[in-house]
């Protein structure tokens, strides 16, 4: 399986997770919290983007930021899976949420700042293609900003889903367009 296929699988899992988060797909959470599992697996597959685009200084920075974002997503999903394991015990959920909110060493790297690094890192990767694939790059950059805005400000799952679709579509287009360029270069060699 090629690295690009791993990237596409990651994008698919990520979009499916947002279908659960926006409640477009029912998320029964018992016995399995599908939304967070899809998000966790998708984030891990998105790490493959670090190996698919041309190497340069911006790509190196984007790779580090993306990797940190994936680590933070793993932490965030773990916290959310623990919360969902409490089932209907709202008191236990509230106590854990208070504890996390009062613990900056967990709150900032795994809830507030860390997961955003995945979107920032992938947007930095897309910035490499701003001159050659402006629309796809803009889709990734605007989509990443819109995901954060819809989550932190609007607190609206449907806008978050739409933002994720734009973000993932832009990355998918960049993968396909980047692949076509490599194929044309190989043909020129013959």
d(CA 46, CA 40): 10
Q: Strand ranges (DSSP E) for the chain?
A: none
Position 179 scores a pLDDT of 60
Position 29 scores a pLDDT of 59
Position 181 scores a pLDDT of 45
Rounded to two decimals, the pTM is 0.85
| pLDDT above 50 for 189 | no
d(CA 68, CA 109): 9
Segment 77-96 mean pLDDT? 88
Mean pLDDT of the chain: 86
Position 28 scores a pLDDT of 63
Torsion 60-63-68-71 (CA) sign: negative
Weakest mean pLDDT among 93-107, 127-141, 169-183: 169-183
Position 35 scores a pLDDT of 86
CB 157 within 8 Å of CB 22: yes
Position 185 scores a pLDDT of 40
DSSP 55: P
Segment 110-138 mean pLDDT? 91
């Amino acid at each position: 399986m090629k690295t690009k296929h791993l990237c596409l699988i990651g994008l698919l899992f990520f979009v499916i997770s947002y279908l659960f988060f926006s409640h477009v797909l029912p998320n029964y959470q018992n016995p399995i919290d599908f939304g967070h599992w899809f998000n966790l697996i998708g984030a891990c597959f998105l790490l493959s983007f670090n190996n698919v685009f041309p190497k340069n200084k911006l790509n190196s920075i984007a790779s580090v930021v993306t990797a940190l974002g994936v680590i933070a997503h793993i932490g965030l999903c773990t916290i959310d899976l623990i919360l969902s394991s409490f089932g209907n015990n709202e008191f236990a959920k509230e106590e854990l949420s208070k504890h996390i909110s009062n613990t900056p060493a967990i709150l900032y790297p795994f809830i507030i700042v860390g997961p955003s690094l995945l979107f920032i890192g992938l947007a930095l990767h897309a910035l490499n293609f701003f001159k050659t694939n402006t629309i796809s790059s803009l889709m990734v950059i605007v989509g990443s900003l819109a995901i954060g805005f819809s989550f932190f400000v609007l607190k609206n799952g449907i806008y978050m889903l739409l933002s994720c679709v734009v973000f993932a579509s832009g990355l998918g287009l960049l993968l396909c367009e980047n692949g076509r360029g490599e194929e044309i270069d190989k043909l020129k060699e013959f």
